[in-house]
Structure 1
Amino acid sequence: METFESLVRAEFAPGNTYLNTASNGLLPARTVDAVQAAVRMRAEGRPLGSLYDDVETVRAAFARIAGVSTERVALGTSVAEYGALIAAALPAGAEVLTAEADFASLVNPFHMRGDLKVRAVPLERLAESVRPETALVAVSAVQSADGRLADLAAVREAARAHGARIYVDASQSVGWLPLDAGAHDFVAAVGFKWVLGPHGNTFFVAPEDFGELTPLLAGWVAGEVPWDSCYGPVQELAHSVRRFDVSPALFTYAGLRASLSLVEELGIDAIHAHDVGLADRFRTGLASLGRTPVPSPGSAIVSVPGLGHRQPELSEAGIEVSNRAGNLRAAFHLYNTAADVDRLLDVLSS
């Protein structure tokens, strides 16, 4: 029987100490093989029908991971495009509540409307800041800059009490943090970070009643029968949230099919325990160095104030992390080990 470690070691052999999944996840070997096979199909002029099948396999796999039905999942290319659909559905003057310094792809579409009231508050005060005039609360489940976790249960309770919708960006959480997408109105997440896919995909979860959204980006794939919707206006939009699909990058979905298969084989609970265990090991080591990270209990991302300037030096030493606003950001994922943590601590101590 294969173990967590044996499955991981069969898929990854990084040439450095890679602690930067919050920027980009590493591609499993099976994903590289799948993308290369798809490229060969295209180069040789073979029928691409199986690659369209990959799109539906990916939709179903993400639905299982997110805890929703496939009918609630759309597939696009960016978080911002789905934020724009939500923004377009809001009436003029509606209030959108966000967390201060949340990721631009989440918050910017609401600012671009120009006639919405966008209010930003500290993440820790998000739930208590919901008020009767709040129409939407938009927040990342895990903050990109420093790994802090939003109290989504408290936000959800406050939003429901005031009749507000909830929009969650799970880009920095899906793949390591258990996700109950059905508990929220809208969820978006990219596939190139913690679920280890190639660039070019975003998952989107919307209510079965579509939540007042208009499929402004609808093309032929948004039809109930896509291949019957290639010419002229789409006569019958998909009866499911698939009406918000954007034409798929087929090579990306060939890779995602393979990546999500690995995530499901390992299991989100096991990945969560592994990732947070390594992050906690790093936090403990930082204390011995006299360093205090940004408080982010339970997160796989650790951000250390005042050490961001050491990112180039660490990269030279073969350790990949990020510099975010002067903070050193380390992100621990399934292919990392205790030795990776100890190596980072050792270089930081020198």
Structure 2
Amino acid sequence: MDGGFPGPQSGRMETTETFESLVRAEFTPKSTYLNTASNGLLPARTVAALHEAALLRAEGRPLTSLYEDVEACRAGYARLAGVPASRVAAGASVAAHSGVIAASLPAGAEVLTAEDDFTSVLNPFHVRGDLKVRAVPLERVAESVRPDTALVAISAAQSADGRIADLPALREAARAHGARTYVDFSQAAGWLPMDADAYDFTASVSFKWLLGPHGAAFLVVPEDFGGLTPVLAGWVAGEAPSNSCYGPVAELAHSARRFDLTHALFTFAGLRRSLDLIEELGVAAVHAHDVGLADRFRAGLADLGHQAVPAPGSAIVSVPGLGGRQPELSRAGIEVSDRAGNLRAAFHLFNTPADVDHLLDTLAG
């Protein structure tokens, strides 16, 4: 079978050759890496930026450029999310962002979630102890919103099996009942087009499909901050951070930066270059590439007599009953995940049809 890259159907790349040459210049995986839903690979430009950032510290040079990287990442993520940079907070984890949202809810408020969604989206609401957290099957979330629902919290794409939430239906149901919406795009940002402006709050980590290092996560809030209190605010949350190092912060940032957490500077130095790459390729082109490979795998599974969890349009494929073969596949140089007994393969821009065929051939034995 053809081992090259499938051509993007739309996006910023004008030719298949341009897409392929740019990707090949950035990635040199030593395995058939199909595990982006756990960790994305780092582009060469990102590795170089991390090295340079480390040298700044090692050699005692000023770190000014690293703080500039934070703001460049904020702006780059804002463009991907379709919102002004003033609405983007730069933090460290989705769990921390969820915690800020959870802290804003009144005692007794109902939070509607999807069953078995990722813990970072759910747990901060549970540990409050005085909220009513209700979980329903993913396909029933929209119909389960009711007048006393205060917030709907959900992942755009499920970590365990790649199923994509019906976000437009959820949004309309929430609006009809006066509920707010919180969407985690961690398994979607970078390959699935994102419209953060359609929801009250959205978040995403950077180390999966955005191809960045660990240690950064973004939160998008409304212009009026949506009633959130910056309960985790430190000096970087001040309008003038350099003047907010001692004592209480006298003036919080007038933008979403008031929800920033102390920045992992090396992470943002690398992430800036990863976001640049995603933007150069275009999310539409990455989407066409990733989903095309996932569909190729689904078709091949059917030929082998296996049925993937239904997740049309997803770059993540989960196969019931095959999770136990993960160690064997790893020994064969194929990196996938075992999630609750399911084999999970996640396809991203550095993968090729040859990767799909290698996995199928190995599964066929």
TM over 0.5: yes
Pairing 1:318–2:350 present: no
Inter-partner Cα distance in structure 1 for 2:361 and 2:106: 54
SS in 2 for 1:126: helix
1:231 CA drift (Å): 1.4
Which of 91, 97, 120 is the aligned partner of 2:112?
97
SS for the counterpart of 2:182 is strand
Q: Distance in 1 between matches of 2:153 and 2:338?
A: 25
Tell me, what secondary structure is at the counterpart of 1:311?
helix
The unaligned stretches of length 5 or more in structure 1 are none
Deviations 1:133-171 (A, max 9, x none): 000000000000000000000000000000000000100
1:339 is the counterpart of 2:346: no
Three-state SS of the structure 2 residue aligned to 1:3 is helix
Kindly indicate whether residue 138 of structure 2 is the aligned counterpart of residue 123 of structure 1: yes
Q: Distance in 2 between matches of 1:328 and 1:82?
A: 29
Map 1:205-284 onto structure 2 (within 5 A): 205-284=220-299
Aligned mates of 1:110, 1:154 — CA distance in 2 = 23
Residues 46-91 of structure 1: CA distance to partner in whole angstroms, max 9, x if unpaired?
Answer: 0000100000000000000000000100000011111111111101
For residues 191-210 of structure 1, what are the structure 2 equivalents within 5 Å?
191-210=206-225
Q: Distance in 1 between matches of 2:112 and 2:204?
A: 19
Q: Which amino acid aligns with 1:222?
A: A
| Equivalent residue for 1:56, pick from 71, 74, 82 | 71
Normalized against structure 2, the TM-score is what?
Answer: 0.95
1:228 positional shift: 1.4
Q: Aligned partners of 2:118, 2:355: CA distance in 1, in Å? A: 27
Q: Size of the alignment, in residue pairs?
A: 350
- How big is the shift at 1:230? 1.3
Aligned to 2:160: 145
The within-5 A match list for 1:22-171 is 22-171=37-186
Report the Cα distance in structure 2 between the residues aligned to 1:268 and 1:164, rounded to whole angstroms. 30
User: How big is the shift at 1:122?
Assistant: 0.3
Shift of 1:233: 1.1
Aligned to 1:173: 188
Q: Which SS does the other structure have where 1:207 is aligned?
A: coil
Instruction: State the identity as a percent.
Output: 75
Residue 68 of structure 1: SS of its match in structure 2? coil
For the residues of structure 1 that align with 2:246 and 2:92, how far apart are their CA atoms?
23
TM-score (norm. length: structure 1): 0.99
Aligned-pair Cα RMSD in Å: 0.7
Q: Which runs of 5+ in 2 are unaligned?
A: 1-14
How far the C-alpha of 1:24 sits from its partner, in A, is 0.1
The AA in structure 1 aligned to 2:121 is L
C-alpha separation between the residues in 2 aligned to 1:91 and 1:14?
A: 48
AA aligned to 1:287 is: A
4+ residue stretches of structure 1 with deviation over 6 A?
Answer: none
What secondary structure does 1:98 align onto?
Answer: strand
Q: What is the one-letter code of the residue matched to 1:256?
A: L
